[in-house]
Amino acid sequence: MSHDNRNSLLAAALAVAVLIAGGLVVRYYGERLGRAGNHVAMPAGTLAHLPLALGEWTGQEVPLDPAIIKETGTDDHLNRLYARGPLDPPVGLYVAYGVRARDLMPHRPDVCYPGAGWTLEDSKPIDLSLDGGAILPCRLYRFSRGTLGKETITVLNYYLVDGQYSPDVALLRSKAWQGTGSIQYMVQVQVTCGGPTALDPDTNANAVRRFATLSALPIRALLPDAPAPASAITTEGKP
């Protein structure tokens, strides 16, 4: 394995570790969404059916520490590194599925990365256009840490709650305040790019945008209420 690939694998593992550890301090809204309800469970291993080959991107599994897996409180998860070619930076993909929002909701980039010593450099909402005309609202973050040998990481994050996309936890907060309480399911998707050998921020941002656009519909197709297969759901072609 090359030095760059080792660094990329470490960055992918670090991104998830930061996400999980930082979430331990935020539980308020999640407690209000923790009641029993009409949950839709999904068998463990379902997300593993996401193809390792997505367009020109090729993935490899990045195993998580069992302690981290336990802390996520998920019913299923996926953690991979996807690469497209020597001129493009690889990206990390983390997907978590669960029916207990109080376990998933605290693990947010804007909370977890600063809590782990990273500085938030930028945060902005973005909309990605998917095949078939659908719009995927996301939030794009850029974090840094250190001075000499400064590290940077770009994080694209979004949620899918009962079939509805959301760029942040605002949808879940709304459910909590309205007293609707339970949800059927919640999915968090995080695409990351960066680490010790990070390229410039625009290069990293373009990489996570391209991959999030390509992977969104294949991920959606694995969920319990996924629409019937259509030409819009594809893993072929260049993003």
Q: What is the pLDDT of residues 108-147, one digit of tens each?
A: 898 888 988 899 999 999 999 999 889 999 999 999 988 7
- The angle formed by the CA atoms of residues 138, 38 and 217, to the nearest 5 degrees, is 30
**Is 119 domain-assigned?**
yes
**Is 235 domain-assigned?**
no
**Is 122 domain-assigned?**
yes
**pLDDT in the model for residue 147:** 73
**Is 237 domain-assigned?**
no
**Is 207 domain-assigned?**
yes
Domains in the chain: how many in total? Answer: 1
Mean of the pLDDT values across residues 167-193? 76
Question: Which of 105-114, 132-141, 185-194, 229-238 is predicted with the least confidence, judged by mean pLDDT?
Answer: 229-238
Question: pLDDT tens, 6-33?
Answer: 555 555 555 555 554 444 333 334 444 4
**Is 233 domain-assigned?**
no
Question: pLDDT tens, 47-56?
Answer: 999 999 999 9
Domain range for 131 is: 3-220
pTM for the model: 0.78
**Is 231 domain-assigned?**
no
**Is 236 domain-assigned?**
no
**pLDDT in the model for residue 169:** 78
Structure tokens at 22: 């930082």
**pLDDT in the model for residue 15:** 56
Residue whose C-alpha is closest to residue 123's, from 140, 138, 107: 140
Residue 1 has pLDDT above 70, yes or no: no
